[in-house]
Amino acid sequence: MDWYINWVTQQPMTSAAIQFGILGTLGEIISHTLRTKKIGLPNSPLEMLGKMLAWALLGIVIKYGFTMMKGAVIVLVEHGMLPGFCADGLGFAFAASVLTNVFFGPQMMYFHRVEDNLILRRWSFAGIETALKTLVWFWIPAHTITFALPKEFQIGLAAVWSVALGIILGLSIRK
């Protein structure tokens, strides 16, 4: 584990991009396979390369977003705008998760959809309402766990959650 901690500490943006590029794309492939009951890519290889790069960019955006939202919790507690139990531990993790998914999550999801639309040469926001609902039932609990971990593991787990959500959605939305 030391190599991983050293890597994410010394190369935070690169490691975030690589983890999300690989795991976010894997989540899409697994979701597609579960939905269609056929092993294969949801798009052409060139489009999948574009999607992998989009996931990588999203990993960097998420790394910045996590840092900003954790800082926001600290400042809000210091100014008495959040209760003291949000200063550390599970209270901090929950507050950071709620702020992340309320103030950052919707914009990030729309940004990711625009990326997909550009890659796939279409303009559709079909299903965005379902995606936004995952902020409450999936991402707030998932990111509470994420923010409870040491910071070196947070981006990696967030990328793993993308695979988990792909599996959940693939099993629940079958063609």
Question: Closest Cα to residue 151, out of 27, 26, 4?
Answer: 4
What are the pLDDT tens digits along the chain (175 aa)? 999 999 999 999 999 999 999 999 999 999 999 999 999 999 999 999 999 999 999 999 999 999 999 999 999 999 999 999 999 999 999 999 999 999 999 999 999 999 999 999 999 999 999 999 999 999 999 999 999 999 999 999 999 999 999 899 888 876 5
pTM of the complete model: 0.95
Rounded (10°) CA dihedral 134, 57, 6, 65: -50
How far is 109 from 150, CA to CA, in rounded Å?
A: 25
Displacement of CA 110 from its chain's centroid (Å): 13
